[in-house]
């Protein structure tokens, strides 16, 4: 069996009209098949052929017969990994709130703004993005901060450090605002959004006992996957150890959960509903304390991170110590420490024979990840499946051409294929545990309440959702 990847983006191939927003390449397709249309009725683009169609017009049923058996076989590869990007956050926010999550505001500085913006744009262009974003600005600003420290320009260093602290706090605030938008959404829409997320996760996590654990990787800083896993009863194994204030440990990767069947002797068996989880860029609830990385008890949808940084064990940490990439911490060696381990986990999981990598919502804008994917595809038994809602910058199709391994790559791009609801209803394999999903509505009401968060704190004993059960 092969390795597979699923993502979220689309770009017309050469000679294809820009309005053709959907492309499929699975099974024995030699080249991508472009098509247009909507509401379950589609038509092949001009000069596009598909050997599996009897005419130029087709429906969701035709696509499902083509896609679902293919993904079912890939999902039972010996090794399966899922890479999730920001497309999942935007999809969930749209389902719950009716619009995409707000973007991150640019970093406003009174010191070296022009130089930082220029360097950020160069970095962005090299990665295939049009303009530098907040992450690029923060990365450059932190490099400059380190340079000022080396040059012993104390006054400039301190001024930039304070502005960066404010910028990091704003960065964290934008992430929490996205979570809060979902947590406080209309109860019916929120419920449907989380039902969809649970179905999405369980389609990947329903693995037979003889297969390796599902590996979930994400470049997101929010806790949507953690919230969905909580509701699905999916236990996530990460590198953190402890209960009150979990600490990041390099030694915890091989930790797993087994059980001994009663009355049966022999090796323990895998416990169902377990997956390995890695946040490649860090998380809004990770904090650097001295030489350690800890996860704080930040509720899902919290209004601000600052109150949760005031615990005695955090030694007065501020937003400057949040381990969200790029890291704003002073100690660069410590800053590099967790991310080196996290990216090593990605390479170790996908760069092996008979494995499948699935990415959803990933835009191929991270060269570190792209390099791992290129290395993965040098193994003949690996496969890449790209599922993407769109590809406005053309990075996905450009990467597809550059990789030069079409037989190892499948594409599902466009709203007809990668819309989260459409994907879970029509194309993803039905999870083995899917028969329990009828209980999801009741479970969601129990854990999240039936009404959005009130403007004022609820009275004692109230059952409104505050996100604390999703920590």
Note whether 288 and 227 are within 8 A (CB). no
Handedness of CA 341, 334, 325, 292 (dihedral sign): positive
Q: What is the pLDDT of residue 95?
A: 94
Q: What is the mean pLDDT of the chain?
A: 80
C-alpha 306/C-alpha 321 separation (Å) is 11
- How remote is the C-alpha of 327 from its chain's centroid? 18
Predicted local confidence at residue 110, as pLDDT: 81
Q: Residue 254 phi/psi, 5° resolution? A: -85, 5
User: What token pair was written down for 82?
Assistant: 């899922």
> For residue 268, what are the CA distances in angstroms to 123, 236, 259?
49, 19, 5
Task: Please give the Cα distance from 36 to 161 (Å, whole number).
Answer: 50
Place of tokens 């380190």: 146
DSSP string computed for 23-43: EEE-TT-SS-EEEEEETTEEE
DSSP output for 251-303: GGTT---EE--TT--SS-EEPSSEEEEEETTEEEEEEEETTEEEE--PPTT-S
- pLDDT one-digit tens code per residue, 153-164: 888 888 888 888
Integer Cα distance of 247 and 323 in angstroms:
13
The predicted-structure confidence for 62-91, as pLDDT tens digits, reads as follows 999 999 999 999 998 999 999 999 999 999
How far is residue 151's CA from residue 162's CA, in Å, rounded to a whole number?
18
Residues 6+ apart with CB under 8 A from 418: 8, 10, 87, 360, 387, 388, 389, 412
Chain-centroid distance, C-alpha 204: 14
28 contacts: CB under 8 Å, gap ≥ 6:
51
Q: What is the spatial distance between Cα 416 and Cα 39, in angstroms, rounded to a whole number?
A: 8
Q: How far apart are CA 387 and CA 362, in angstroms?
A: 9
R_g of the chain, CA atoms, integer Å: 23
Q: At what angle do helices 187-205 and 86-97 cross, to 10 degrees?
A: 150
pLDDT tens readout for residues 400-420:
999 999 999 999 999 999 999
Work out the percent of the chain whose per-residue pLDDT is above 90: 38
pLDDT of residue 117: 84
pLDDT at 454: 47
Rounded Cα gap, residues 84 and 434, in angstroms? 21
The residue ranges of the chain whose pLDDT is under 50 are: 1, 3-20, 327-334, 434-438, 450-471
Residues with Cβ within 8 Å of 24's Cβ and at least 6 positions away in sequence, in order, are: 32, 33, 35, 63, 66, 67, 411, 412, 413, 417
> What is the pLDDT at residue 453?
46
């Amino acid at each position: 069996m092969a390795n597979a990847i699923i993502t979220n983006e689309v770009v017309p191939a050469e000679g294809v009209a820009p309005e053709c927003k959907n492309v499929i390449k699975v099974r024995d397709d030699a080249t991508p098949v472009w098509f247009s249309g909507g509401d379950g009725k589609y038509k092949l683009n001009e000069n596009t052929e598909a050997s599996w169609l009897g005419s130029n017009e087709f429906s969701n049923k035709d696509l499902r017969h083509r896609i679902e058996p293919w993904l079912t076989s890939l999902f039972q590869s010996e090794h399966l990994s899922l890479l999730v990007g920001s497309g999942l956050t935007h999809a969930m926010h749209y389902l719950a709130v009716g619009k995409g999550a707000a973007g991150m505001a640019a970093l406003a500085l009174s010191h070296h703004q022009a130089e930082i913006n220029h360097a950020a744009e160069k970095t962005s262009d090299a990665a295939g993005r049009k303009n530098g974003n907040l992450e690029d600005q923060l990365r450059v600003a932190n490099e400059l901060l380190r340079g000022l420290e080396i040059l012993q320009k104390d006054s400039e260093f301190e001024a930039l450090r304070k502005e960066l602290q404010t910028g990091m706090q704003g960065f964290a605030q934008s992430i929490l605002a996205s979570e809060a938008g979902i947590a406080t959404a209309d109860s019916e829409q929120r419920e449907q959004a989380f039902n969809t997320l649970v179905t999405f996760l369980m389609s990947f996590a329903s693995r037979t006992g003889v297969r390796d654990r599902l590996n979930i990787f994400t470049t997101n800083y929010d806790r949507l996957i953690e919230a969905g896993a909580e509701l699905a009863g999916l236990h996530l194994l990460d590198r953190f150890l402890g209960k009150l204030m979990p600490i990041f440990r390099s030694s915890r990767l091989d930790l797993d959960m087994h059980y001994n069947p009663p009355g049966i002797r022999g090796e323990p068996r895998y416990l169902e509903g377990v997956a390995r989880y890695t946040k490649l860029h860090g998380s809004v609830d990770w904090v650097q304390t001295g030489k350690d990385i800890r996860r704080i008890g930040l509720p899902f949808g919290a209004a601000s991170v600052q109150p949760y940084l005031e615990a005695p064990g955090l030694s007065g940490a501020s937003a400057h110590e949040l381990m969200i990439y790029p890291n704003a911490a002073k100690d660069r060696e410590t800053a590099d420490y967790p991310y080196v381990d996290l990216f090593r986990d990605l390479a170790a999981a996908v760069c092996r024979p008979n494995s499948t990598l699935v990415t959803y919502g990933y835009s191929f804008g991270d060269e570190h990840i792209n390099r791992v994917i290129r290395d993965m595809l040098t193994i003949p038994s690996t496969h890449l499946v790209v599922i993407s809602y769109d590809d406005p910058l053309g990075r996905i199709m450009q990467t597809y051409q550059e990789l030069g391994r079409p037989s190892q790559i499948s594409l599902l791009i466009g709203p007809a294929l990668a819309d989260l609801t459409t994907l879970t209803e029509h194309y993803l394999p039905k999870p083995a545990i899917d028969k329990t999903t009828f209980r999801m509505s009741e479970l969601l009401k129990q854990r999240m309440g039936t009404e959005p968060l009130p403007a004022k704190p609820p009275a004692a004993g109230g059952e409104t959702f505050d996100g604390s059960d999703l920590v």
